[in-house]
């Protein structure tokens, strides 16, 4: 599926803005067919945004179940005869879409787009109605997982229930990404796949263009940043050669425009689509992560899509600010913890040369108890695996052409110390390699190396660990000993390069104490510094991603005071003391290592 774009043949109408919104606390809307007629008693709701923090109503913030969105649009008369598609960038977590009362699409999974051909459902030159029901319930068969807990005791009112989930970030919900309408001709480009190689300075781009009408003639052009055509080709798959190619490099991005067109026998251009691509290679060799054959050291963060008021709603203002902060702090990378981020952010990362590890929303498949089986028929079962595979496939399909994305992360902190997880992750790893043989894969670890049963399937070991925080809280003097012991254990056991993909401490901006104590800015800075001392003496460590980029909202609980405060920036994107330390360190380390 291609991101909706204006091109020489396509036109996009963005339906973002204020939608009519109605919570459905009794979950009766589907049965009463609320989509059949305009919704009544609605409140205004911005799209894209999470609905949770928009009103003053705690019941809406903590709502479990369906909410309804409605918008009207005019399909221009000039579009009649064309193929009209409705694209939903992300509906957290399940959605059904109706157009003028007829079902157009149903989708499970909150972090990836879906679309529907609605050509037959709309009336041109008149108002059309789109209704979307969005449901936020998490179960063992969703990514991320969760479960509804109902109380059957006298202490709770009858029917009282809560949504439990096993990750800390708040379960924001709603239409988090734009909703767009676009038109193509009836003969159109369905998908484009590009991969690149470099041979003695010549850039080689292999491409495949999948057209809806196989007899259409496919023509392809590659333009440099000055708009000069550097290579052309014909046919639905082929090779483009670029002499003296400018490579896409970390923090020094160079993007070529890849243009694909489908032409009809009558000499008419039927469809045109363009992609920004980079010529670069990625490979793991021994203990090195090579980008264009040069060792790359990951400096950066685990992030979240999270900001005040809009929750997980895409906001390009926040996205550009975040990119600027990454450059300011001399970071070169981030992980899309713990779910695929909006493609709008990946476009910025492509442009800025920020390296990305793309993660599937498989977070929380663990209990911190070795004996409680997670990969079991009543929890993460065959249906869960099928969905996990489906989401992985959709993620690779969406992001495969982004030069910034260099590795796939298939899960965060799964119970892969359990024997039953082995076939589960073997299948996922095999699938990722088959779908994308060009990018390394990883899984982000929680168990210790001697307990992990799946790292043999992956190229890079990513480790999350919170010494002197969740373990031995306050004991900064233990950090170096423990980090070194563990990281050496990973290398000894699997012989693969290691990224510390999470480490950190909560710091409440403005809290100070020396000698450092937990929750102060001094403690956060001191803890990170001690981790760094270890990384600097271990050759097989190829990266450090601090947890987290910015403070973020969490579910309420006794370990969180107004959210997770492990951010190096506050939620409002202001630096804590550790930001200045990281900025110095990462500047001194240079661009690559």
Active site residue 544: no
Binding pattern for the stretch 18-57 against ligand GCB, x by CB under 6 A and - elsewhere: ----------------------------------------
Q: DSSP string of 284-312? A: EETTEEEETTEE--EEEEE--S-BTTTBT
Q: Any idea of the CA torsion for 188, 181, 320, 275, to the nearest 10 degrees?
A: 0
CB of 524 to ligand GCB, least distance (A): 12
Instruction: Give the Cα separation of 69 and 261 in Å (integer).
Output: 36
Q: For residues 167 and 183, which CB has a smaller minimum distance to ligand GCB in the complex?
A: 167
Q: Kindly state whether residue 412 participates in binding ligand GCB, applying the rule CB under 6 A.
A: yes
Q: Kindly state whether residue 551 participates in binding ligand GCB, applying the rule CB under 6 A.
A: no
CB of 421 to ligand GCB, least distance (A): 17
Of 385, 480, 400, 474, residue with least CA distance to 434: 400
Buried b (16+ CB within 10 A) or exposed e, 137-151: bbebbbbbbbeeeee
Contacts of residue 65, Cβ cutoff 8 Å, sequence gap at least 6:
24, 25, 27, 135, 136, 137
Q: Kindly state whether residue 70 participates in binding ligand GCB, applying the rule CB under 6 A.
A: no
Taking CB under 6 A as the criterion, the residue among 53, 168, 271, 551 binding ligand GCB is 168
| Both tokens assigned to 386 | 């099928």
Q: For residues 399 and 502, which CB has a smaller minimum distance to ligand GCB in the complex?
A: 502
Residue pair 260/220 in contact (Cβ under 8 Å)? The answer is: yes
Active site residue 502: yes
Angle subtended at Cα 553 by Cα 547 and Cα 559, rounded to the nearest 5 degrees: 75
Taking CB under 6 A as the criterion, the residue among 66, 343, 502, 526 binding ligand GCB is 502
Buried b (16+ CB within 10 A) or exposed e, 480-500: bebbbebbeebbebbebbbbb
Q: For residues 71 and 525, which CB has a smaller minimum distance to ligand GCB in the complex?
A: 525
Q: For residues 66 and 502, which CB has a smaller minimum distance to ligand GCB in the complex?
A: 502
Q: Kindly state whether residue 310 participates in binding ligand GCB, applying the rule CB under 6 A.
A: no
Q: Kindly state whether residue 564 participates in binding ligand GCB, applying the rule CB under 6 A.
A: yes
Q: Kindly state whether residue 167 participates in binding ligand GCB, applying the rule CB under 6 A.
A: yes
Q: Do the bridges between strand 102-108 and strand 146-150 make them parallel or antiparallel, or are there none, so unpaired?
A: unpaired
Q: For residues 412 and 421, which CB has a smaller minimum distance to ligand GCB in the complex?
A: 412
Q: For residues 281 and 564, which CB has a smaller minimum distance to ligand GCB in the complex?
A: 564
Q: For residues 68 and 165, which CB has a smaller minimum distance to ligand GCB in the complex?
A: 165
Q: Kindly state whether residue 547 participates in binding ligand GCB, applying the rule CB under 6 A.
A: yes
Residue pair 157/114 in contact (Cβ under 8 Å)? The answer is: no
CB of 498 to ligand GCB, least distance (A): 16
Residue pair 19/70 in contact (Cβ under 8 Å)? The answer is: yes
CB of 583 to ligand GCB, least distance (A): 22
Task: With CB under 6 A as the rule, give the number of residues binding ligand GCB.
Answer: 10
Give 91's strand partners: 175
Instruction: Give the Cα separation of 584 and 334 in Å (integer).
Output: 18
For residue 54, the number of C-alpha atoms closer than 13 Å in the C-beta half-sphere is 25
H or E element, residue 42: none
For residue 435, the number of C-alpha atoms closer than 13 Å in the C-beta half-sphere is 22
Q: For residues 338 and 398, which CB has a smaller minimum distance to ligand GCB in the complex?
A: 338
Contacts of residue 64, Cβ cutoff 8 Å, sequence gap at least 6:
136, 137, 148, 161, 162, 163
CB of 145 to ligand GCB, least distance (A): 14
Taking CB under 6 A as the criterion, the residue among 66, 413, 521, 526 binding ligand GCB is 413
CB of 447 to ligand GCB, least distance (A): 12
CB of 414 to ligand GCB, least distance (A): 11
Report the site for ligand GCB in 129-158 (rule: CB under 6 A). none
Q: Kindly state whether residue 464 participates in binding ligand GCB, applying the rule CB under 6 A.
A: yes
Taking CB under 6 A as the criterion, the residue among 402, 566, 571, 585 binding ligand GCB is 566
CB of 361 to ligand GCB, least distance (A): 12
Candidates 502, 521, 526, 544; catalytic one = 502
Q: For residues 22 and 530, which CB has a smaller minimum distance to ligand GCB in the complex?
A: 530
CB of 169 to ligand GCB, least distance (A): 6
Instruction: Give the Cα separation of 78 and 82 in Å (integer).
Output: 9
CB of 137 to ligand GCB, least distance (A): 20
Contacts of residue 386, Cβ cutoff 8 Å, sequence gap at least 6:
none
Helix intervals (H) in 316-414: 316-328, 343-352, 382-399
Residue pair 348/323 in contact (Cβ under 8 Å)? The answer is: yes
Q: CA dist 529 to 250, 332, 431, 505, Å?
A: 24, 19, 38, 12
Q: For residues 343 and 502, which CB has a smaller minimum distance to ligand GCB in the complex?
A: 502
Candidates 261, 352, 359, 413; catalytic one = 413
Active site residues: 413, 502
Q: Give residues in contact with ligand GCB (CB under 6 A).
A: 167-168, 338, 412-413, 464, 502, 547, 564, 566
């Amino acid at each position: 599926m291609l991101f909706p774009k204006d091109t020489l043949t396509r036109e996009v109408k963005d339906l973002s803005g204020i939608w009519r919104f109605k919570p459905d606390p009794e979950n009766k809307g589907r049965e009463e067919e609320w989509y059949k007629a305009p919704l009544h008693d609605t409140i205004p709701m911005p799209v894209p945004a999470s609905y949770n923090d928009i009103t003053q109503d705690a019941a809406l913030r903590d709502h479990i179940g369906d909410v309804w969105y409605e918008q009207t649009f005019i399909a221009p008369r000039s579009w009649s005869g064309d193929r009209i598609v409705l694209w939903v960038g992300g509906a957290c977590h399940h959605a059904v879409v109706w157009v003028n009362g007829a079902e157009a699409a149903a989708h499970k999974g909150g972090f990836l787009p879906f679309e529907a051909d609605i050509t037959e459902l709309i009336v041109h030159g008149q108002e059309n109605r789109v209704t979307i029901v969005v449901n936020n319930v998490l179960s063992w068969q969703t990514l991320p997982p969760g479960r509804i807990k109902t109380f059957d005791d006298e202490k709770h009112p009858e029917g009282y229930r809560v949504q439990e989930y096993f990750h800390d970030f708040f379960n924001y919900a709603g239409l988090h990404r734009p909703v767009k309408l676009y038109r193509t001709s009836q003969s159109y480009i369905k998908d484009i796949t590009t991969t690149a190689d470099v041979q003695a300075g010549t850039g080689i781009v292999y491409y495949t263009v999948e057209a809806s009408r196989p007899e259409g003639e496919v023509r392809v052009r590659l333009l440099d940043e000055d708009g000069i055509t550097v290579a052309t080709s014909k046919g639905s798959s082929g090779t483009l050669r670029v002499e003296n190619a400018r490579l896409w490099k970390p923090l020094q991005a160079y993007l070529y425009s890849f243009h694909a067109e489908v032409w009809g026998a009558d000499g008419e251009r039927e469809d045109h689509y363009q992609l920004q691509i980079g010529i670069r290679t990625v490979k793991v060799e021994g203990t090195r992560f090579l980008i264009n054959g040069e060792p790359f050291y990951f400096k950066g963060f685990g992030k979240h899509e999270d900001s005040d008021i809009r929750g997980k709603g895409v906001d390009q203002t926040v996205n550009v600010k975040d990119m600027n902060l990454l450059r300011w702090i001399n970071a070169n990378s981030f992980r899309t913890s713990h779910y695929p981020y909006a493609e709008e952010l990946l476009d910025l990362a492509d442009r800025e040369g920020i390296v990305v590890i793309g993660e599937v929303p498989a977070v929380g498949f663990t209990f911190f108890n070795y004996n409680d089986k997670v990969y079991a028929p009543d929890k993460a079962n065959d249906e869960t695996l099928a969905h996990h595979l489906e989401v992985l496939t959709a993620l690779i399909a969406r992001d495969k052409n982004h030069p910034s994305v260099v590795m796939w992360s298939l899960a965060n902190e799964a119970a892969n110390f359990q024997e039953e997880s082995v076939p589960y992750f073997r299948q996922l790893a095999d699938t990722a390699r088959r779908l994308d043989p060009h990018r390394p894969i990883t899984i982000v670890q929680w168990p210790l190396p001697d307990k992990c049963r799946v790292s043999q399937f992956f190229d890079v070991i990513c480790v999350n660990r919170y010494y002197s925080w969740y373990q031995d809280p306050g004991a900064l003097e233990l950090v170096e000993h423990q980090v070194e012991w563990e990281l050496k254990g990973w290398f000894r056991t699997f012989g693969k390069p290691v990224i510390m993909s999470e480490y950190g401490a909560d710091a409440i901006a403005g809290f100070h104490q020396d000698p450092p104590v937990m929750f102060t800015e001094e403690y956060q800075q001191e803890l990170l510094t001690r981790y760094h001392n270890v990384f600097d003496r271990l050759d097989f460590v190829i990266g450090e991603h601090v947890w987290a980029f910015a403070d973020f909202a969490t579910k309420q609980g006794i370990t969180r005071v107004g959210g997770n405060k492990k951010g190096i920036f506050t939620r409002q994107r202001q630096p804590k003391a550790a930001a200045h330390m990281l900025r110095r360190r990462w500047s001194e380390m240079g661009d690559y290592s």
